Amino acid sequence: MTACIFCKIVSNELHAKIVYRDEQVTAFRDIHPLAPVHILIIPNRHILSVNELTPEDEPLIGHLFTVARQLVKQEGIDKSGYRLIVNTGAHGGQTVFHLHLHLIGGQRMRHPMG
């Protein structure tokens, strides 16, 4: 049993609008989208944050970006542009402690970063 909501999405215990899945990663639509396209791409394995990554995770992290690349094409926002964001810890605004890559696009981003 896990208390992690993203692990529950990976194991189908919790419903999500899944847009991509393979043996390493799952991608699903954010429940509170900040833009017309807001997808979370996560490793299927529970990793708390960037702080817990090791050199062995490099292929996995590369794969998250490859999946992001496929999804931006699929969503039709590759030309218009988008943001890929990984919030980490309190100052980063992380609220779910299972590593996730936000893919946000479909409109011009209104706020500067930081």
Q: To the nearest whole angstrom, how small is the minimum distance from the Cβ of residue 67 to ligand 5GP?
A: 16
98 among known catalytic residues: no
Q: Which two tokens stand for residue 99?
A: 């590593």
Q: To the nearest whole angstrom, how small is the minimum distance from the Cβ of residue 82 to Zn ion?
A: 25
Q: Residues in contact with ligand 5GP, total (CB under 6 A)? A: 12
Provide CB contacts within 8 A for 108, sequence distance 6+. none
Identify residues 4-43 at the interface with ligand 5GP (CB under 6 A): 5, 16, 28, 30-32, 40
Q: Counting runs of H as helices and runs of E as strands, what totals does the chain give?
A: 3, 5
Q: To the nearest whole angstrom, how small is the minimum distance from the Cβ of residue 1 to ligand 5GP?
A: 17
Alpha-helix runs per DSSP H in the chain: 5-10, 58-75, 89-92
Q: Which residues are catalytic?
A: 100
